[in-house]
Amino acid sequence: MDTVIETRRLTKRFGSFTAVAEVSLQVNSGEVLVLLGPNGAGKTTTTRMLASILPPSEGEARVAGFDVVTQAAEVRRRIGLLTEHHGLYTRMRAGEYLAFFGSMYGLAEDEARRRGQDLLEQVGMPDVIHRRLGEFSKGMRQKLALVRALLHDPPVLLLDEPTSAMDPASARLVRDSILELRSSRRTLVVTTHNLAEAEQLADRLAIICQGAIAAQGSVQELKRLHVGPPIMELRAAGPLDGALRSLPADLKMVAAGPDWVRYQADAPAQANPRVLAAMAMAGVPVVTLSEVGRSLEAVYLKVVGSPAPRGEE
Amino acid sequence: MQAALGPPRSLIPGAWIIARREIRDQMRDWRILVPIVGLTLFFPALMNFTARQAVDFVGRYDAPIIAERLIPFLLMVVGFFPISISLVIALESFAGERERLSLEPLLATPLSDAQLYLGKMAASLLPPLGAAYLGIGVYLFGLWRGLGWTAPAPLLVQILLLTTAQAVVMVCGAVVISSQTTSVRAANLLASFIIVPVSQLIIGESLIMFWGRYTVLWFIVAALLLVAVVLTRVGLHLFNRQELLAREIDVLDLRWLGRTLWAEFRSGASTPWAWYGGVLRRTLPSLWPALLLMVLALAAAFVVGVRLAPQFVLPLDPTQLNSLPQTITLQLQRFGLMSAEGWWWILRHNMSALALATVLGTFSFGVAAVILLMAPTAIVGYLAGSLAMAGQNAGLFLAALVLPHAVLEVPATLLAGAAVIRLGLAAVSLPRGTSLGESWLTALAEWARAGLGLVLPLLVGAALLEVFVTPRIAVLLLGG
Q: Per residue in A59-110, pLDDT tens? A: 999 999 999 999 999 999 999 999 888 889 988 999 999 999 999 999 999 9
The pTM for the full model equals 0.73
Overall average pLDDT of the B19-41 stretch: 85
A69–chain B Cβ distance below 8 A for any pair: no
Residues of chain A with C-beta less than 8 angstroms from the C-beta of B2: 153, 155, 185
Distance from CA of A245 to the nearest CA of B (A): 57
Q: With 90 as the cut, is the pLDDT of residue B47 above it?
A: no
Chain B residues with CB-CB distance to A87 below 8 A = 100-106
Question: Can you tell me the mean pLDDT for B419-435?
Answer: 76
Among B217, B249, B281, where does a domain finish? B249
Is B240 in the same domain as B264? no
Q: Is the pLDDT of residue B339 over 50?
A: yes
Identify the band that residue B324 occupies on the pLDDT scale cut at 50, 70 and 90. low
- CA B362 – CA B297 distance, rounded (Å): 18
Q: Is the per-residue pLDDT at B337 higher than 80? A: no
Q: Of the spans B89-93, B207-211, B422-426, which averages the highest pLDDT?
A: B207-211
Which of A53, A85, A155 lies at the smallest CB-CB distance from B107?
Answer: A53
Q: Cα(A183)–Cα(A201) distance, rounded to whole angstroms?
A: 13
Given B225, B249, B273, which residue is the final one in a domain? B249
Together in a domain, B325 and B275: yes
- Cβ-defined contact of B5 to A81 (cutoff 8 Å): no
B-contacting residues of A 75-134, CB under 8 Å?
76-79, 81, 83, 85-89, 91-92, 96, 100-101, 103-107
Asked if B6's CB is within 8 angstroms of A101's CB, the reply is no
Whether B360 and B390 share a structural domain: yes
- CB-closest option in B1, B17, B100 to A103: B17
Q: Do B105 and A154 make contact, defined as CB atoms within 8 angstroms?
A: no
Most confident of A107-116, B35-44, B392-401: A107-116
Q: Which of B218, B249, B280 is the last residue of a domain?
A: B249
Same domain, B282 and B345: yes
Residues A216, A204: contact at Cβ < 8 Å? yes
Beta-sheet pairing, A204-209 with A32-36: parallel
Of A2, A105, A185, the CB nearest to B7: A105
Examine residue B283 and state whether it is found in any structural domain, yes or no: yes
Residues 6+ apart with CB under 8 A from A292: A230, A231, A232, A233, A262
CA distances from residue B67 to A68, B55, B73, B364 in whole angstroms, order as listed: 64, 5, 10, 37
Structure confidence at residue B123 (pLDDT): 92
Distance from CA of A176 to the nearest CA of B (A): 22
Report d(CA A52, CA A74) in Å as an integer: 9
Q: Quick check: is B5 in a domain? A: no
Q: Which of B59-63, B256-260, B267-271, B381-385 has the highest mean pLDDT?
A: B381-385
The confidence band for B340, taking pLDDT boundaries of 50, 70 and 90, is confident
> What's the pLDDT at A310?
45
- A77 and B110: CB-CB below 8 Å? yes
Question: Do B272 and B231 share a structural domain?
Answer: no
Q: What are phi and psi of A228, to 5 degrees?
A: 85, 180
Residue B153 at interface with chain A, using a CB cutoff of 8 Å? no
B13: distance to nearest CA of chain A, Å? 10
Q: Are residues B240 and B275 in the same domain?
A: no
Q: What is the pLDDT of residue A308?
A: 43
Residue range B192-196: mean pLDDT, rounded: 82
Taking an 8 Å cut-off on Cβ atoms, the answer to whether A14 and B253 are in contact is: no
| Number of domains comprising chain B | 2
Q: Is B236 exposed, middle or buried (0-12, 13-18, 19+ CB in 10 A)?
A: middle
Residue B275 is assigned to a structural domain of this protein:
yes
Average pLDDT for chain B: 84
Other beta carbons within 10 angstroms of residue A185's beta carbon come to 12
Q: What pLDDT score does B325 carry?
A: 65
**What is the pLDDT at residue A312?**
37
**Segments forming the whole domain that contains residue B391:** 254-478
Residue B1 inside a domain? The answer is no
- pLDDT by 10-residue block (mean), chain A, 313 residues: 90 85 92 90 93 92 94 93 88 94 92 93 89 90 91 93 79 81 80 88 91 90 84 88 81 87 87 90 90 80 64 39
Inform me whether the pLDDT recorded for B230 exceeds 90: no
Name which of A52, A91, A148 is nearest B105 (Cβ-Cβ).
A148
Q: Count Cβ–Cβ pairs < 8 Å, chain A vs chain B.
A: 104
Domain match, B308 and B440 both: yes
CA nearest B181: which of B366, B442, B436, B432? Answer: B436
DSSP, res B28:
T
Listed in sequence order, the residues at least 6 apart from B415 whose beta carbon sits closer than 8 Å to its beta carbon are B287, B291, B450, B454, B455, B458
Predicted pLDDT at A311? 41
Say if A73 is an interface residue toward chain B (CB within 8 Å).
yes
Cβ of B17 within 8 Å of Cβ of A78? The answer is: no
**Domain identity same for B196 and B291:** no
Say if residue B279 is in the same domain as residue B234: no
pLDDT tens-digit map of B165-191: 999 999 888 888 887 777 888 888 888
Chain B residues within 8 A of A54 when measuring between CB atoms: 241-242, 245
For residue B3, tell me if it sits in a domain: no
CA distance, residue A178 to nearest chain B CA (Å): 18
* Residue B119 belongs to some domain of the structure: yes
Residues B116 and B145 in one domain: yes
Using the predicted structure, report yes or no on whether residue B320 has a pLDDT greater than 80: no
Using the predicted structure, report yes or no on whether residue B476 has a pLDDT greater than 90: no
Q: Check A87 against B245: CB less than 8 A apart.
A: no
Do both B163 and B305 map to the same domain? no
Alpha carbon distance B86, B129 (integer Å): 8
**A56, A212 in Cβ contact below 8 A?**
no
Ordered domains of chain A (ranges, CATH): 3-224 (3.40.50.300), 229-291 (3.30.70)
Does the CB of A248 have a partner CB in chain B at under 8 Å? Answer: no
Whether B191 and B273 share a structural domain: no
pLDDT confidence bin for B158, thresholds 50/70/90: very high
Q: How confident is the model at residue B1 (pLDDT cuts 50, 70, 90)?
A: very low
The question of ipTM being above 0.90 is answered as: no
Angle ∠(B131,B137,B139) on CA atoms, nearest 5: 105
Share of chain B above pLDDT 70, in %: 89
In a domain, B302, yes or no: yes
